[in-house]
Amino acid sequence: MSRMSSWLLASLAVAALATPAASQQPAAQQPVKIRAGWITTPASLIPLMFAKPGLAKHKDRSYTFEPVYYAASPLQITALANNELEIAALGYSSFPLGVQNAGLSDLRIIADEIQDGVPGHYATPYWVRKDSGIARIEDLKGKVVATNGLGSGVDLIMRSALRQRGLEDKRDYTVIEAPFPTQKAVLKDRKADLIVTALPFSYDPEVLDMAKILFDSRSGFGTVALSFWTARKSFIDRNRAALVDLLEDYVVALRWLLDPAHHDEAVEITASFLKRPPASFADWLFTSKDFFRDRDGKPNLAALQSNIDKVKDLGFVKAPLDVSRFADLGLIEEAAARLR
């Protein structure tokens, strides 16, 4: 055998021995892809939470984050069912639909977004004209009331408030639908006797001049679990560590936005994203005039249970639902504990 042949055989033998060892080296773990749904902002912070550089230390390391816009909660439920979304922002009116109607029995509540009607914070207002002669909810008998959509969160609150005063849909009042941006015009043109406004429309000077608040969300539901994050248990079980990292970054961003020292910059970030003047948000955003946001991102399960029970009483939920069975608060608790 020639010297060259001996060298070649030896080289092949070394390569053969080295190949298995090389194949046993662990591959670098890829960040977990997390797509998160949102409907409206700044109520939802999902499209805003990473706008301030340097707050999210885990992003693009243990996870990637993609905000996905949806027009309505049912579309997020469909996306969850089809594995097209990892986190859905649902509320008290849509969560039972996901569990009972869509069959997502593995749906879990993992973090909070906003609560409506918390004492000392914003509560969704329901307005009548100052010249309407309507002074009490009972005065709506025979009147026309406007909602943004049948079965929506604000619609169910309205129905509950009126039922508590003995008024029932169709028998005692008529419901029409109008998007939030058009509610003011509906009242101004006397097409409805009662309207509901959402932020920022609740602080419209023309509304304040023309109308008065007849009642608010506290009258119908008390504290309202308006929006919270949900994910499927199968995804949580596979990616728990990455989710805790995401929720830690979420709490950091949440606290930064709520800090009065950062108010002007937080308003600028929001206004820039929405392409609106900062003055539209300066007086209320991330203050007590805004929805309540828990600084630790922890959902209010007691309020949610009460809300869902009322929805069932209204006939929009077909069976009782024990929300404690569908919550995994260990993730957000671990995330918040890291920051203490």
The confidence band for 24, taking pLDDT boundaries of 50, 70 and 90, is very low
Q: Which residue has the tokens 């999902």?
A: 46
Q: Range with the lowest mean pLDDT among 6-20, 25-39, 110-124, 191-205? A: 6-20
Widest Cα–Cα separation across the chain: 111
List, for residues 231-276, the tens digit of each pLDDT value.
Answer: 999 999 999 999 999 999 999 999 999 999 999 999 999 999 999 9
Q: What is the mean pLDDT of residues 196-223?
A: 94
Radius of gyration of the chain (CA): 26
DSSP element (H, E) containing 133: none
Core vs surface per residue 116-133: b (16+ CB within 10 A) or e: bbbeebbbbbbbbbeebe
Question: Percentage of residues in the chain with pLDDT exceeding 70?
Answer: 92
pLDDT at 167 over 70: yes
State the burial class of residue 12 (Cβ atoms within 10 Å of its Cβ: 0-12, 13-18, 19+): exposed
pLDDT reported for residue 149: 85
The pair of structure tokens assigned to 318 is: 């077909």
Please state, in angstroms and rounded to a whole number, the distance separating the CA atoms of residues 311 and 308: 5
pLDDT at 15 over 60: no
Q: What is the mean pLDDT of residues 202-228?
A: 95
List, for residues 92-125, the tens digit of each pLDDT value.
Answer: 999 999 999 999 999 999 999 999 999 999 999 9
Q: How far apart are the first and last CA of the chain?
A: 72
pLDDT at 153 over 90: no
pLDDT reported for residue 21: 40
Please state, in angstroms and rounded to a whole number, the distance separating the CA atoms of residues 127 and 99: 33
